[in-house]
Amino acid sequence: MPATPSQDATTEHFGPSRRFCVAPMMDWTTTHYRYLARLLSRHALLYTEMVTTGALIHGDTARFLRHNPEEYPLALQLGGSNPEELAHCATLAEQFGFNEVNLNVGCPSDRVQNNMIGACLMEHPDRVAEGVSAMIAATRLPVTVKHRIGINGHESWEDLCEFIDKVSAAGCRTFIVHARIAVLEGLSPKENRDIPPLKYDWVYDLKARYPHLEIIINGGIKTFDECHRHLQHTDGVMLGREAYHNPWLLAAVDTEFFGQPSPVDTRHNALRRVLPFIQEELDRGVYLSHITRHLMGLFHGQPGGRQFRRYISENAHRPGSGIEVIEAAMARVPEPETTAPIPA
């Protein structure tokens, strides 16, 4: 089991700082991505992929909850709706050293709908409140909810406020709001990330209506300028795809949002610092290609970046591939002669 996180990983305000967060993303925010992300930013709050309560209770619990203490501050996102199961999994989150446990009320896929998980729970605020109440009773960790502003058929401002009213009455103090509705029939999960229009003003209005709650805004955010505009109206921002496809963005987060120096100076040096961890994973029997797929965006937009990605794509899957593949790929990207300021 991982070590318990240090005290400085948390604040008095509802647990870890959520001023800047990286969203939970299935198949993307694995421990291999998170290790790199944490090297780039000491303060961004990271989230796991969604893990269902059923997988934790009936599957390989240790495998699903495996992470490195270096990843803290780190939140576990759960998918589920049964209060007893959620409470049990919240206890596991605390036992395994996570800094927060988050309930997914935003995923629109058919698979989770059939199990009463994700965005379909927006239609059942009482059930969400029961689950949140059970989780809060079971753990000392902060319990948070990530949700949409509605779903088709339940997409009014009144519906949204009813959801917030009931879940906050159950004890939840932090709401991470994806500023789109989810369309549960006719749109794929991918389309649900783009097609329903963003309504940032609804999230701003939530903060104005509920000033005592912590409101984090999510959805379509790509630049620091956008982040700062949102922070004029909300308590924090959460980035998803941009933070994954362009992870070097995170290297400026500590300076931009926390007034602290960046922990890294160049992309090359950041990748060199990941190599010992990658070797440990290889020694455990993890395939190189399962790790390197999360590194592909590190040289995004840089001369030689395409060659870096191509070399890894062509060689990481070969039997016996190891660290030398990454080193050879990195050699295809010109290294800066001097350390330049990290761009925002």
Phi and psi (nearest 5°) for 119? -60, -30
User: Which of 82, 80, 5 lies closest to 46, judged by CA?
Assistant: 5
Does the annotation mark 107 as catalytic?
yes
Per-residue confidence (pLDDT) for residue 113, from 0 to 100: 56
Q: Of all helices (H) and strands (E), which one includes residue 83?
A: helix 83-95
CATH code, domain with 295 = 1.20.120
Phi and psi (nearest 5°) for 236? -165, 170
User: Which of 222, 297, 236 lies closest to 32, judged by CA?
Assistant: 297
Q: Is residue 235 located within the same domain as residue 280? A: no
Which of residues 229, 258, 287 is at a domain's end? 258
Q: Is residue 250 located within the same domain as residue 321? A: no
Per-residue confidence (pLDDT) for residue 14, from 0 to 100: 65
Q: How many domains, in total, are found in the chain? A: 2
Which of residues 239, 258, 277 is at a domain's end? 258
Per-residue confidence (pLDDT) for residue 193, from 0 to 100: 79
Q: Is residue 157 located within the same domain as residue 119? A: yes
Which residue range forms the structural domain that includes residue 305?
267-330
Which of residues 258, 287, 322 is at a domain's end? 258
Per-residue confidence (pLDDT) for residue 110, from 0 to 100: 65
Residue 57 makes CB contacts below 8 A (sequence gap 6+) with 85, 88, 89
Q: Is residue 202 located within the same domain as residue 312? A: no
Buried b (16+ CB within 10 A) or exposed e, 26-49: eebbbbbbbbbbbbbbbbbbbbbb
Walking along the chain (344 residues) 10 residues at a time, the average pLDDT comes out as 33 74 96 98 98 95 94 97 97 97 89 76 96 97 97 92 98 97 82 86 98 97 98 98 97 97 96 97 96 96 96 96 97 77 50
3-state helix, strand, coil split of the chain in percent (to 5) is: 45, 15, 40
Per-residue confidence (pLDDT) for residue 48, from 0 to 100: 98
CB 116 within 8 A of CB 67: no
Per-residue confidence (pLDDT) for residue 112, from 0 to 100: 57
CB 119 within 8 A of CB 151: yes
Helices 157-169 and 200-209 pack at an angle, to 10 degrees, of: 50
Catalytic residue among 107, 120, 172, 227: 107
Q: pTM of the predicted model, to two decimals?
A: 0.92
